[in-house]
Amino acid sequence: MNVTIVDYKSGNISSVINSFKEVAKGKVNIDVTSDLNKIETSDKVVLPGQGSFKSCVDALNSINGLVETLNEFAITNKKPLLGICVGLQMFADIGYEETETKGLGWISGKVSKINNQNGKYKLPHIGWNQINIVKDSKIYKDIENNSHMYFVHSYEFLPEDKNLISATTEYSSNIVCSVEKENIFGTQFHPEKSDKIGLQIIENFIKL
């Protein structure tokens, strides 16, 4: 099996690569590339994202044919794709970080700044937070509710269809921390920085 981590130069993804390789234990081939053919022919794709919504979208768009290839992979061919952090946020129609920016439009919704309630909550939201699993999701197999995950973000994804939300976390409000839509999965938290539980999520995705 081939799992491709899309490297589109959106910040440091070494911890994503290392954690996937650790879980794969050499039994699963982990590719790190922006090569369209490799993405197209892989079994699963991981879309990481660090930095702002705009910078990540711009970086995707700067590689000729990449957005079209991802669309074909996830939407047309319905192969499993996992978005992490801004990788999840880009599923939205639109984001408002820096400036209004069009997303991939895979899951209707928008990405807005977390309401910090006049400074009551620090932004960015950094650190460990409990997650509340709200629906039976394949990536939460063998993971207990109220497990702690590691977050770094100032913006939140607000999907129109609340039935696609698989887990939330309490920070200023009830923040979406993961979604699942058929073959498309996304986490706002960083599984690659969430210790053994995060590795379990990665393993669950690889085993889908």
The DSSP annotation for the chain comes to -EEEEE--S-S--HHHHHHHHHHHTTTSEEEEE--HHHHHH-SEEEE---S-HHHHHHHHHTSTTHHHHHHIIIIIS---EEEETHHHHTTSSEE-SSS-EE---SSSEEEEE---TTTTS-SSEEEEEE-EE-S--GGGTT--TT-EEEEEESEEEEES-GGGEEEEEEESEEEEEEEEETTEEEESS-GGGSHHHHHHHHHHHHT-
- Give the chain's mean pLDDT: 96
**Residue with token string 């887990």:** 167
Residue from 97, 156, 180, 192 carrying the catalytic annotation? 192
CATH superfamily of 2-206: Class I glutamine amidotransferase (GATase) domain (3.40.50.880)
Do 124 and 192 meet the contact criterion of CB atoms below 8 Å apart?
Answer: no
Question: Which amino acid is located at 48 in the chain?
Answer: P
* 4-56: pLDDT as tens digits: 999 999 888 999 999 999 999 999 999 999 999 999 999 999 999 999 999 99
**Boundaries of every domain in the chain:** 2-206
pLDDT over 90 percentage in the chain: 97
Do 179 and 185 meet the contact criterion of CB atoms below 8 Å apart?
Answer: yes
Tell me if the pTM is above 0.85. Answer: yes
Residue from 56, 85, 177, 180 carrying the catalytic annotation? 85
153 is catalytic: no
190 is catalytic: yes
Residue from 56, 97, 156, 190 carrying the catalytic annotation? 190
85 is catalytic: yes
Overall residue count recorded for the chain in this entry: 208
